[in-house]
Amino acid sequence: MFTISRHRRRQVSFVARLAIPVAVLAVLVWLGGEQVMQINVMDLSDSLRDLSAAQWLCSLAATLAAYIAAAAQERAVMAHLELRPEPRRAFGAAMAAAAVAQTVGFGPVVGAIVRKRLLPCLSLPQSFAVSAGITLAFFAGLALLALGAVAFGPETGTRGEARAALVAVALIGAGLCALPARTMFGLRKPGGSTVMRLAAWIFVDCLALCLAFWSLLPSAVRPDFLVLLPTFLLGLGAGLASGSPAGVGPFEAAMALHLPGLDAHDLLASLLAFRFVAYALPALCGGVWALLGPSLLTREPKLA
């Protein structure tokens, strides 16, 4: 009875997560039905062909930087948890886990499974602990960067509130660091250097992903990078929080609502290109490495 109930809850959760992007896209079609109906496959193909080689290369380079930053975040979390797998193997496992997890959805769970396969020296609970640490740190860093982008970016009506929120966050963070307790909520408190290291790599990760998308927008009409950044971070966070595959739905909604000046074909082409460069291609590489990596890396790593 308990097993059936748990299985049913998992099915409901899975369907709910898949329903999120469908519902969001349905609302977008309803709100902009006329534009959606006018989308022509040939015009969309032309918009994709209009993307220059320099745009593709810049987006690919920025995506690579983002995944290197993701691997560095995992290394920082592992160091905090006193887990020390063989560095070369850990780097590949981190990039593969990030690539597959972000694209498939159910990020922490999928990432933990991929990481465990590529790092057999870790137990499954240890791998889940790494995923949990990365997830908590990333969302905290993403929110902080979004606040900073609004507070110090182009003039908006919420700049004052964002600056006040940043001051409050800084005071709370300083207070927590000053506490003599070594644990918080039953967990070992990270040191200041660990927090700064994580924050730096999370900022690099988010900024690089934004650059990857910005590079694929039509150069003649794309907004300034700092104008796009808050909207991009909002869409990225909403997409990841939804748990939908690759965050599809909320991200597209944010871009469509905040970039109304772009032609529908150009925006859709940029979104498709970004999904390919930042999600589909890394997920393919990560999936291949998850399958073949254990047999290629024959030396069994051990925790130090």
DSSP class of 204 = H
**Site of tokens 């887990």:** 83
**Residue 15: is its pLDDT beyond 80?**
no
Can you give the pLDDT at residue 22? 53
Q: Which two tokens stand for residue 29?
A: 């079609």
The model carries a pTM of 0.83
Interatomic CA distance for residues 280 and 173, integer angstroms:
37
Taking only the tens place, the pLDDT of each residue in 220-246 is: 889 999 999 999 999 999 888 887 787
pLDDT at 35 over 70: no
Tens-digit pLDDT profile for residues 181-210: 666 656 677 888 888 999 999 999 999 999
User: CA 167 to CA 175: how far, in whole Å?
Assistant: 12
What are the tens digits of pLDDT across the range 51-109? 999 999 999 999 999 999 999 999 999 999 999 999 889 999 999 999 999 888 777 89
* The dihedral sign for the CA sequence 44, 60, 280, 208: negative
The residue type of 197 is: R
Q: Are the C-beta atoms of 273 and 59 separated by less than 8 Å?
A: yes
- The two three-digit tokens of residue 147, written as one number: 């606040």
Q: Which two tokens stand for residue 153?
A: 């970016």
Q: What pLDDT does 1 receive?
A: 47
Q: Could you give the 3-state DSSP secondary structure of residue 304?
A: coil
Q: Give start and end residues of each alpha helix (H) in 81-191.
A: 87-104, 107-118, 124-152, 159-178
- Based on the number of CB atoms within 10 Å of its own CB, is 294 exposed (0-12), middle (13-18) or buried (19 or more)? middle
Structure tokens at 266: 């150009």
H or E element in which residue 183 lies = strand 183-184
CA-based diameter of the chain, in Å? 64
Contact predicate 118/294, CB 8 Å? yes
As a three-state string, the secondary structure of 211-269 is HHHHHCCCCCCCCCHHHHHHHHHHHHHHHHHHCCHHHCCHHHHHHHHHCCCCCHHHHHH
For 149-161, how does the pLDDT look when each residue is reduced to its tens digit (9 = 90+)? 988 888 777 888 8
